[in-house]
Amino acid sequence: MATPPDNVPRFTEAAPAKINLDLRVTGRRADGYHLLDSLVVFADCGDRLDYYPGDGLAFEITGPFAAGLEADENNLVCRAIRSFATNAGVQVTGRFVLTKNLPVASGIGGGSADAAAALRLLTRLYPGALGADHLNEVALSLGADVPACLVSRSLRMQSVGEAITPVKLDFPLYILLANPGISVETARIFGDLKASGFSFSPERRLPREIATPDQLLSILQNSSNDLQRPACQRVPEVAGLIDEIAGLSGCLYAAMSGSGATCFGLFASLEEARSARENMSVDSKNYWLNAGTIL
Ligand SMILES: C[C@](O)(CO)[C@H](O)COP(=O)(O)OP(=O)(O)OC[C@H]1O[C@@H](n2ccc(N)nc2=O)[C@H](O)[C@@H]1O
Ligand SMILES: Nc1ncnc2c1ncn2[C@@H]1O[C@H](COP(=O)(O)OP(=O)(O)OP(=O)(O)O)[C@@H](O)[C@H]1O
């Protein structure tokens, strides 16, 4: 078989944006990590990780949000490569190129999605080197969102992030994502929640299959993102953003994802999500807006 030219990646992995449609904080562990119950979906926008074979190990970042990150050993892609290599007992070589399309520290799991993309890519490069359970342990050690991002399809996330149950959505769903260009540190928002004396959300029942948009709406209207209130206190733009999205034509539901500051609106058609993006009144210089499809 002919070898591909140097400018064609051997493997490419998408790193889709993660959206917490709700996020219930149901308890706190002795180590300070919070117990969660979140309905999570993934969108067709995201970062991309390309792999080019070669001697030595190299990592580069390109794309619209590359400037916000260092391509150093602390990057979640490098941490994922290191951890995979150690746990699988392999020596990883080659050039990894991350195209950073998602805003950094924005509640849509960018870094976690990148780490998960690196783990999926390495699993293709070294098939069978790590069993599924071991891979999930490695994923969790990189971040609470990484096990969910490994799956990158709609799911229920519980425990501190590692208990994953697939949830099937039986209908197409579209999303508008809006980020005000203000980064939010996740640990700080959980800290603010704790300091507020917040009472934990009760357990809830969640079906494994959601048949209609109305059923999804009824689930979301009876739930919330418990991090939204502390995030709104730190970033007052969030409340206005949710109100604006909720008022756009065709918007079924609007809220904040993760620890913020990205907010989202759900739509029944891509046309409605796109025209909602066009109708946002925000300053497009600072804001990041994306209309897309739920995977
Ligand atoms: C808010 C979510 O995005 C919801 O999906 C995740 O829970 C956060 O996922 P993540 O960014 O991968 O989080 P990590 O990097 O593991 O943790 C960042 C910080 O958030 C807090 N944290 C995170 C997850 C969790 N279940 N409880 C927490 O209290 C901890 O202070 C932790 O130091
Ligand atoms: N590849 C990466 N992409 C984004 N952030 C990274 C990456 N590697 C390391 N980081 C660091 O991780 C932190 C969290 O970034 P990330 O974009 O994952 O946050 P987030 O969108 O709030 O994630 P979550 O929704 O999982 O809380 C940032 O402060 C950033 O410096």
pLDDT tens profile 250-276: 999 999 999 999 999 999 999 999 999
Dist. CA 211 → ligand 1 center (Å): 30
188 and 133 in a common domain: no
34, 158 Cβ separation under 8 angstroms = no
Considering the chain, what is the average pLDDT of its residues? 96
Measured from the CA of 79, which atom of ligand 2 is nearest?
8
131 and 91 in a common domain: yes
129 and 25 in a common domain: yes
What mean pLDDT comes out for the span 121-137?
97
> Has residue 146 been placed in a domain?
yes
The angle, 0 to 180 degrees and rounded to 10, between the axes of the packed helices 110-125 and 132-142 is 150
Smallest CA separation from ligand 2 atom 26, residue: 109
Q: What is the pTM of this model?
A: 0.97
ipTM of the complex model: 0.96
Residue 69, pLDDT > 60, answer yes
In this prediction, residue 7 carries a pLDDT of: 79
**CATH number of the domain that residue 67 is part of:** 3.30.230.10
Ligand closest to CA 98 = 2
Nearest CA to 152 out of 217, 107, 108 is that of: 108
Domain boundary residue, one of 132, 166, 200: 166
In this prediction, residue 222 carries a pLDDT of: 98
What mean pLDDT comes out for the span 16-30?
98
Dist. CA 262 → ligand 2 center (Å): 13
What mean pLDDT comes out for the span 37-65?
98
- The total number of structural domains that make up the chain: 2
In this prediction, residue 283 carries a pLDDT of: 76
Q: Which residues contact 17 (CB under 8 A, 6 or more apart)?
A: 42, 43, 45, 46, 102, 108, 109, 110, 113, 177, 290
Measured from the CA of 77, which atom of ligand 2 is nearest?
1
Per-residue pLDDT band for 8 (boundaries 50, 70, 90) equals: confident
Ligand closest to CA 106 = 2
Domain boundary residue, one of 166, 184, 214: 166
Q: Which residues contact 30 (CB under 8 A, 6 or more apart)?
A: none
131 and 228 in a common domain: no
Residues 178, 59: Cα–Cα separation, whole Å: 29
Q: From the CB of 38, is ligand 1 less than 6 Å away?
A: yes
In this prediction, residue 4 carries a pLDDT of: 57
233 and 88 in a common domain: no
For a pocket test of ligand 2, which of 76, 79, 146 has the largest count of ligand atoms closer than 8 A to its C-beta?
Answer: 76
Q: Residue 111 carries which side chain, given as an amino acid letter?
A: G
At 229 the three-state DSSP class reads helix
> Has residue 5 been placed in a domain?
no
Domain boundary residue, one of 166, 193, 225: 166
In this prediction, residue 2 carries a pLDDT of: 60
Residues 157, 22: Cα–Cα separation, whole Å: 10
For a pocket test of ligand 1, which of 18, 26, 83, 145 has the largest count of ligand atoms closer than 8 A to its C-beta?
Answer: 145
**CATH number of the domain that residue 205 is part of:** 3.30.70.890
Q: Dump pLDDT digits (tens) for 74-107.
A: 999 999 999 999 999 999 999 999 999 999 999 9
Q: From the CB of 26, is ligand 1 less than 6 Å away?
A: no
Residues 109, 37: Cα–Cα separation, whole Å: 16
Question: What is the DSSP track for 119-188?
Answer: HHHHHHHSTTSS-HHHHHHHHHHH-TTHHHHHH-SSEEEEETTTEEEE-EE-S--EEEEEE-S----HHH
Residues 41, 56: Cα–Cα separation, whole Å: 36
Phi, psi torsion values for 145, nearest 5 degrees: -90, -10
119 and 218 in a common domain: no
Per-residue pLDDT band for 5 (boundaries 50, 70, 90) equals: low
> Has residue 6 been placed in a domain?
no
143, 76 Cβ separation under 8 angstroms = yes
68 and 175 in a common domain: no
Q: Which residues contact 62 (CB under 8 A, 6 or more apart)?
A: 97, 98, 99, 100
> Has residue 4 been placed in a domain?
no
Domain span at residue 41 reads: 11-166
Q: SS3 for 58-123, per residue? A: EEEEECCCHHHCCCCCCCHHHHHHHHHHHHHCCCCCEEEEEECCCCCCCCCCHHHHHHHHHHHHHH
74 and 51 in a common domain: yes
20 and 146 in a common domain: yes
185 and 122 in a common domain: no
> Has residue 144 been placed in a domain?
yes
Ligand closest to CA 41 = 1
235 and 186 in a common domain: yes
Dist. CA 232 → ligand 2 center (Å): 19
In this prediction, residue 9 carries a pLDDT of: 93
Measured from the CA of 103, which atom of ligand 2 is nearest?
17
Query: Measured in Å, how far apart are the chain's first and last C-alpha atoms?
Result: 33
106 and 51 in a common domain: yes
Q: Residues lining ligand 2, judged by CB closer than 6 Å? A: 69, 75-77, 104-112, 114, 145, 186, 258-259
177, 264 Cβ separation under 8 angstroms = yes
Dist. CA 111 → ligand 2 center (Å): 4
Measured from the CA of 105, which atom of ligand 2 is nearest?
19
> Has residue 3 been placed in a domain?
no
Q: Dump pLDDT digits (tens) for 221-241.
A: 999 999 999 999 999 999 999
Q: Dump pLDDT digits (tens) for 165-186.
A: 999 999 999 999 999 999 999 9
Alpha-carbon distance values, 74 to 48, 142, 171, 238, 295 (Å): 18, 11, 39, 29, 29
Per-residue pLDDT band for 27 (boundaries 50, 70, 90) equals: very high
Residues classed as catalytic: 18, 145
